[in-house]
Structure 1
Amino acid sequence: MNPPPQVARDQDDLLVTAAEGSDLWRTTSYGFIHDTGHALLTDFPDGTAAEVSFIADFSAQFDQAGLLIRADAEQWIKAGVELADGVLQLGAVVTRGVSDWSVAPVPEWLGQAVVVRASRKGNALTVRARSGDEPWRLVRVAPLPPGPLSVGLLCCAPTCSGLVVRFTDLRLVEADQSLHP
C-alpha cells in the first residue's frame, strides 16, 4: 500500500524510507483524511498474531512505525511508536469512519529495537509491545470489523523527509490465548 520512495535490503533487514507527508488519519480533531502511509500487507486470519520488529531514528514530529491492520480505507488500526511533541510515544489509532488516538510516553525506547504484536481473536484485536527483553506492555484492546483483514509493517513521516525504518522481522504466529497473563 502506497509504496515508499526507497526500499533496500541489508542482509535480512528491510530498510524503508518514508515519504514526507505520508500518514494515516481520518477527520477527528484535524479535519483531514490521509491514506498515504506506507504498508506491506498480507492476509490476517482469525486466530493469528502479527509481530513486527524494527529500529528507527525518529527525529521529526509524528515520525512513526509499527503494524497496520486494515479492512478498508475507513476501517483500520495502526499501532506502534511515534514521535509526538518531542517524546517517543507508544500508541494506537483505531479508525471506524473517524480516527481516535491513544499514547503513552516511552522515551527510553528511542534508538532501541521495538516489537509490536497484534493478536486477532474473534471480534477483538489485542495489541502489545516491548523493547528488548522487557515484559509485554498492553497497548490496546479494540473491536475488529467483520470480514477479511490485512496486516503488515507500517511507517509514515507526516511532517519531514528523512525517516528510515529498519524492519528486522515480520511474522505471523498463533494468537494470544487470553487478554491477561
Structure 2
Amino acid sequence: MSRTGVEWSSGVWTHEPVSAVEQGGDLLVTAVEGSDAWRHTSYGFVHDSEHTLVRELPDAAAVEVAFTVGFEAQFDQAGVFLRVDDENWIKAGVEFADGSPQLGAVVTRGSSDWSVAPVPEWAGRVVTVRASRSGDAVTVRAAVEGEPFRLVRVAPLPPGAVVHAGPFCCAPTRAGLVVRFHEWAVTEPDGSLH
C-alpha cells in the first residue's frame, strides 16, 4: 500500500459541524459549541457529539491527519479519530488544556481514559497525527512540521474489527472554533513501536 491522499468529500460526518468549507485544498471546520467525545470516567457523563469525517480503515494500514494548532479555549481539540462503535473508539491529537496545547489521546473501551503532555511550542504550527493498525494494536504518533514523529500511545484494538477513521475536532466550552485541516491520508502502518 502506498501513501494515498483521501478526498474530503469521500468521508461521512459522525456529527455535522456548523460548517465545513474547502479552501485551497484545506478543509476549514467550524465546531458546534459543546461538541465532545467522552464516556463516563471521572466526570460521569457521556458526550457523543464530536465532528469526525470518517471512512473505513483496513487492517494493516495507517491514517494520517494534518492540521494547524490554532486553539485558545479550554478543551479546543483536533486530530485523528478511530471508531469501532459508540463504546469503543480512540481519539488522538492536540487539545488546549490549562493554558497550553497538550499532545495526547483518549482510549475508550466502555469508559474513557485520557493522557496528555504539554507542547506549548506547537501553538500555531502544523501537526500531523498518525494512527497505525497492526495486529491487535493501534500505535499513535505525532509530529510538528520539520520534526520527527514521537510516540503518543499504544492501545489495544481487536484484529479484524471494522474501524472507521479520519480527522476530528471538538469545542466543548465555546462557539467559534475553526480548525484548518491540511491533509487526510492512508498509508502503510509503522513497522515498529520505537
TM-score by length of 2: 0.91
- Asked if 1 retains the 8 angstrom alpha-carbon contact of 2:69 and 2:94, the reply is no
Structure 2: gaps (5+ residues): 1-13
Residue identity matched to 2:185:
R
TM-score by length of 1: 0.98
Task: State the partner residue of 1:176.
Answer: 190
- Asked if 1 retains the 8 angstrom alpha-carbon contact of 2:31 and 2:171, the reply is yes
Structure 1: gaps (5+ residues): none
Task: State the partner residue of 1:135.
Answer: 148
Task: State the partner residue of 2:170.
Answer: 156
Matches within 5 A, 1:69-88: 69-88=82-101
- Asked if 2 retains the 8 angstrom alpha-carbon contact of 1:109 and 1:131, the reply is yes
CA–CA distance in structure 1, aligned partners of residues 132 and 158 of structure 2: 14
**SS across alignment from 2:114:** strand
Q: CA RMSD in A?
A: 0.7
Q: CA deviation at 1:145?
A: 3.5
Residue identity matched to 1:149:
V
Aligned length in residues: 180
Task: State the partner residue of 2:55.
Answer: 42
- Asked if 2 retains the 8 angstrom alpha-carbon contact of 1:127 and 1:139, the reply is yes
Per-residue Cα deviation, 1:52-74 (whole angstroms, up to 9, x for no partner): 00014201100000000000000
CA–CA distance in structure 1, aligned partners of residues 69 and 140 of structure 2: 20
Task: State the partner residue of 1:110.
Answer: 123
Per-residue Cα deviation, 1:98-121 (whole angstroms, up to 9, x for no partner): 000000000000110000000000
Residue identity matched to 2:68:
I
Residue identity matched to 2:175:
S
- Asked if 2 retains the 8 angstrom alpha-carbon contact of 1:52 and 1:167, the reply is yes
CA–CA distance in structure 2, aligned partners of residues 135 and 14 of structure 1: 25
